[in-house]
Amino acid sequence: MMRVLVFQHIPVEHPGIFRDFLTAGGGAWDAVELDAGEPIPPFDGYDALWVMGGPMDVWQEREHPWLVAEKRAIREWVSAGRPFLGVCLGHQLLAAAMGGRVGPGEAPEVGVMTVELTDAGRADPLFRGLPKTKTCLQWHGAAVLEAPPAAEVLARSPVCPIQAMRVGACAYGLQYHVEATKDTVPEWGCVPEYEAALEAVQGQGALARFREETARHLPGLNAAARTLYDNFAGIVAGRRRA
């Protein structure tokens, strides 16, 4: 059984379909809503840390002072060699916490898009059984501009060269979203910052088009998510046995 600590930054950005996989496998999770002032608990008893997305940026510590404590907690967790998975903002927080650099990306990526695994990504256990070119859900403007020292870049896209990375043995960051469910785009579309970003890239009425496009791709997205989840769970199990 895997027990996961989850850092959230807005209620609608949660582990999504990963919660279903975790429950089906007899696992459990505790979500900490950092933006609501919930405290980070002791790490004892947790097998993995998942850090999800959010509308804020990693450098907005004055507006969101809890980011300081979150980065410190991520650094402590990863430095101890414990399994970590960060998605979108969580990917960027991993980079910032471990000595990388995050800033505005070359261009926003919003929509159903593709990323390509690097040679290191194709060899990494997290992506075992997944194709070199992956269809995924994107919704971000900031990006990891420089990976932390000794990090491996595992996936890229034309405008975002660090779409996935591994720091150390088992700390992973994914710029793109793997956790999508049928409710993801409708829920995120209710967040003003997300809707504005979507319309800035794709024009008025983009939310309805994005919802339809995501629904068409959802079976494939969910199948890939299942594979990635199983691979991550295997990594966690391996760390427990070590």
Residues known to be catalytic: 88, 177, 179
Question: For residue range 26-64, what is the model confidence (pLDDT) as tens digits?
Answer: 999 999 999 999 999 999 999 999 999 999 999 999 999
| Higher local confidence (pLDDT), 139 or 196 | 139
**Which pLDDT tens digit goes with each residue over 108-130?**
898 899 999 999 999 999 999 99
For residues 104 and 190, which has the higher predicted lDDT (pLDDT)? 104
pLDDT confidence band for 206 (50 / 70 / 90): confident
What is the Cα–Cα distance from 67 to 77, expressed in whole angstroms? 15
Residue whose tokens read 């579309």: 189
Q: What angle do CA 144, 88, 197 make, to 5 degrees?
A: 95
Looking from the CA of 215 toward its CB, the CA atoms found within 13 Å total 9
DSSP letter, residue 177? B
| Domains defined for the chain, CATH in brackets | 3-241 (3.40.50.880)
For helices 206-241 and 17-24, the axis angle rounded to 10 degrees is 30
Please tell me the pTM assigned to this model: 0.96
Q: Give the H/E segment covering residue 140.
A: strand 133-146
Residue 201 has pLDDT above 80, yes or no: no
Q: Which residue has the higher pLDDT, 193 or 43?
A: 43
Integer angstrom CA distances of residue 167 from 31, 75, 180 = 23, 11, 24
Predicted pLDDT of residue 202: 79
**What is the reported pLDDT for 16?**
97
Note the pLDDT of residue 1: 85
What single-letter DSSP state applies at residue 60?
Answer: -
Hey, how many other C-beta atoms are within 10 angstroms of the C-beta on 193?
13
The pLDDT tens digits of the residues spanning 211-222 come to: 899 999 999 999
Residue 180's nearest CA partner among 18, 2, 11 is 18
